[in-house]
């Protein structure tokens, strides 16, 4: 595994929690996200939510807006224990 397989530090708690919910190792989820292969990670999501997430993740500006949202920041704080 190399540095490309790791999420930025501020994303790690969110990635860990998402991976836990999806039943996969965080490293595998990070690789899937970086490679654009979300099929395994999203297989249990409703189709409409899958489509919205895929669209947001492929648009860097939309992804940044999502991560900057108060809801995402609250989740990051919750998962990081701060």
Q: Which sequence spans correspond to the domains of the chain?
A: 3-80
- Reported as a single tens digit per residue, the pLDDT across 34-60 is 777 777 677 766 788 778 777 777 888
Does an H or E element contain 58, and which?
helix 47-58
The full length of the chain comes to: 82
Determine contact, residues 15/29, Cβ cutoff 8 Å: yes
pLDDT of residue 44: 65
Q: Which two tokens stand for residue 36?
A: 């654009």
What single-letter DSSP state applies at residue 9?
A: G
In angstroms, the CA 48 to CA 17 distance is 22
pLDDT at residue number 2 = 44
* pLDDT exceeds cutoff 60 at 4: no
* pLDDT band, very low/low/confident/very high, at 82 (cuts 50, 70, 90): low
């Amino acid at each position: 595994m190399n540095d490309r397989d790791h999420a930025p530090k501020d994303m790690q708690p969110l990635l860990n929690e998402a991976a836990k919910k999806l039943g996969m190792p965080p490293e595998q989820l990070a690789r899937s996200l970086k490679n654009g292969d979300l099929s395994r990670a999203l297989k249990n999501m409703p189709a409409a939510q899958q489509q919205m997430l895929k669209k947001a993740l492929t648009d860097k500006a939309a992804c940044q807006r999502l991560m900057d949202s108060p809801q995402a920041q609250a989740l990051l704080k919750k998962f990081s224990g701060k």
